Amino acid sequence: MTALLKVRDLRRRFDRRLAVDGLSFELERGAILGLLGPNGAGKTTTLRMIAGVLPATGGSVELLGERLDHRRPGLKRHLGYLPDTPPLHDAMRVADYLRYCARLRGVPRTRCRQRVDDVMEQCDLTTVARRLIGNLSRGFRQRVGLAQAVVHEPALVMLDEPTLGLDPLQVQALRSLIEGLRQDHGIILSSHLLSEVQRLCDRVLILNEGRGVYTGDLRGSGDDGYRLALREAQPPEALSALPGVARVVPEGIGGYRLWLTDGTDGDCVLSAVVERGWGVREWQVAAPTLEALFVEHVHKDEPCG
List of residues contacting another protein (CB under 8 A) = 48, 51-57, 69-70, 73-77, 79, 81, 83, 85-92, 100-101, 103-106, 148
Question: H or E element: which one contains 62?
Answer: strand 58-63
Q: Which is nearer to another protein, 52 or 250 (CB)?
A: 52
Residues 27, 33, 38, 39: what is their CA dihedral angle, to the nearest 10 degrees? Answer: 80
For residue 141, give the nearest of 132, 152, 154 by alpha carbon: 132
Q: Which is nearer to another protein, 55 or 277 (CB)?
A: 55
CB of 208 to another protein, least distance (A): 25
Q: Which is nearer to another protein, 55 or 263 (CB)?
A: 55
Query: At 104, is the secondary structure helix, strand, or coil?
Result: helix
For residue 142, give the nearest of 170, 184, 183 by alpha carbon: 170
CB of 17 to another protein, least distance (A): 17
Q: Which is nearer to another protein, 51 or 213 (CB)?
A: 51
Q: Which is nearer to another protein, 147 or 273 (CB)?
A: 147
Q: Which is nearer to another protein, 38 or 73 (CB)?
A: 73
Question: What is the C-alpha separation between 218 and 223, in angstroms, rounded?
Answer: 14
CB of 48 to another protein, least distance (A): 8
For residue 81, give the nearest of 186, 207, 204 by alpha carbon: 186
| Alpha helices per DSSP H over the chain | 43-51, 94-104, 109-122, 138-150, 168-181, 194-200, 236-240, 266-275, 290-301
Q: Which is nearer to another protein, 64 or 233 (CB)?
A: 64
The answer to whether 277 and 238 are in contact (CB under 8 A) is no
CB of 79 to another protein, least distance (A): 7
Query: At 86, is the secondary structure helix, strand, or coil?
Result: coil
Query: Residues, the chain, total?
Result: 305
CB of 64 to another protein, least distance (A): 13
For residue 86, give the nearest of 41, 31, 133 by alpha carbon: 133
- CA distances in angstroms from 15 to 40, 47, 51, listed in the order given: 15, 19, 21
Q: Which is nearer to another protein, 91 or 274 (CB)?
A: 91
